[in-house]
Chain A
Amino acid sequence: MAMTLITTNTDTPGSATDSAFTSGIDNTYKLYIFKWYDVNPGTDDVNFTFNGSTDSGSSYNVTKATTHWSAYHAEDDGYAGKGYGASQDLSDSDDGTAFQPITGGIANDADASSAGELFLFNPSNTTYVKHFYYTANSYKNDSASANTFTGGYFNTTSAIDAIVFRFTSGDFTGTIKMYGVG
């Protein structure tokens, strides 16, 4: 198996509020990996999020069931710990079509950013739900490190053919790459 770079999106200030991947997600690969780094929002204290589409990006509102937990630690040692993010998970009956938070409260300081990777399995399948999980590390607006973990599935038997990343408000800079595996 090899991992092949398919698309690189490089976002610059004012250029876009979305980083969308609307082509290349099909039955060519069984696994798609999205990697991002140096993702820096234009607005302070906003959430980095993603969603999927079954209509090539015309709409991003696929129902999801997800889990979310994180470990966090402030630079001044003022707080540290781990916890399940009950307000960051989604379910069919609890805002399931919303954008899934990757990390909340990211800073827009000049040196602040988020980095991580999202794995999406067999998105073109038309029989099963579509599983995904990600790991990220981010610099939060109160000068803390947050290591976040989410697992879940798009609860649809339609093919997922587009993915978009965005902040809850404003535009952002950064690099997001999509790879195909297998």
Chain B
Amino acid sequence: MPLGAFKAALMGTAGVSVAGDVVLLHDQDYSGASEAVINSGIDSTYGEYIFKFYNINPDSSGSFTFQANATGSSTYDEYMTTTKCETNHAENDATPGFEYVAGGDQAQGTSFQSLSQAIGTGGDQSGAGELHLFNPASTTYVKHFYSEMQIHYGDVGNASCTYIGGYINTTTAIDDIKFQMSTGDFDGTIKMWGVK
């Protein structure tokens, strides 16, 4: 699995750039935002970029999503082939399970890729997770990514953890990432690190 608690310590969830060979490149709080665009700092400097999301709280129940732009593009519709698996467990002990979510994957699709189930809108409800993107500056290979995101599902009190894997099927460099909800706006914090 992705780093989990270890990575939280490594990356400094308190928002402090840590020493060593992991460099904090982006750190922004969003409030009532329809999107979060990170279009600088994604280049050949690092072989891996890690995005972390904290306290993602939407104003309408929906999934947290992302897409990318290849160099020279501005339409956030790169081709992706992806997988999506989810675990769920309700606060009242109902519906525990683990499943492949056929409606949440893409086969050469150009949609925004969901990273979660529908996040609750309640005052204490939110989602958190991380996305790894490998060598986006490559002009030879597809761009692999995977993510893990834990959320409070809907308004029914479910813990839901989603695992996404896939690749952006282009040999053009990726230099621009956008996050947004499947519907509505969101509050939250998004950070990006480069790994030397």
**Could you tell me which A residues sit within 8 Å of B by CB distance?**
1-5, 31, 35, 37-38, 40, 71-77, 80-82, 110-117, 119, 133, 135, 137-139, 144-147, 149, 151, 175, 177, 179, 181
Is B22's CB within 8 Å of the partner chain A? yes
Whether B6 and A31, one on each chain, are in contact in the complex, defined by CB atoms closer than 8 angstroms, is yes
**Which secondary structure dominates chain A's binding surface?**
strand
Residue in B closest to A134 when the chains form the complex, CB atoms: B1
Q: How far is the CB of B50 from chain A (nearest CB, A)?
A: 10
In the bound complex, residues from chain B placing their C-beta under 8 Å from that of A76 are 107-108
* 6 extra interface residue pairs, beta carbon distance < 8 Å, beyond A82-B99, A181-B6: A3-B20, A37-B134, A38-B141, A77-B108, A116-B146, A181-B10
In the bound complex, residues from chain A placing their C-beta under 8 Å from that of B102 are 80
In the bound complex, residues from chain A placing their C-beta under 8 Å from that of B195 are 3, 35
Candidates A3, A112, A135, A179; contact of B141 at CB < 8 Å: A112
Candidates A37, A135, A151; contact of B48 at CB < 8 Å: A37
Whether B82 and A73, one on each chain, are in contact in the complex, defined by CB atoms closer than 8 angstroms, is yes
Residue in A closest to B169 when the chains form the complex, CB atoms: A75
The size bracket of the interface on B is 35 or more
- Interface residues in B1-49 by Cβ distance below 8 A to A read 1-3, 6, 9-10, 18-22, 47-48
Q: How far is the CB of A83 from chain B (nearest CB, A)?
A: 9
Known: A1-B18, A175-B47. A115 touches B135 (CB 8 A): yes
Whether A135 and B144, one on each chain, are in contact in the complex, defined by CB atoms closer than 8 angstroms, is no
Chain A CB within 10 A, most for which of B2, B18, B107: B107
Is B171's CB within 8 Å of the partner chain A? yes
Whether B83 and A147, one on each chain, are in contact in the complex, defined by CB atoms closer than 8 angstroms, is yes
Whether B144 and A37, one on each chain, are in contact in the complex, defined by CB atoms closer than 8 angstroms, is yes
CA distance A133 to B105 in the complex (A): 24
Known: A3-B21, A111-B171, A137-B146. A82 touches B85 (CB 8 A): yes
Q: How far is the CB of A37 from chain B (nearest CB, A)?
A: 4
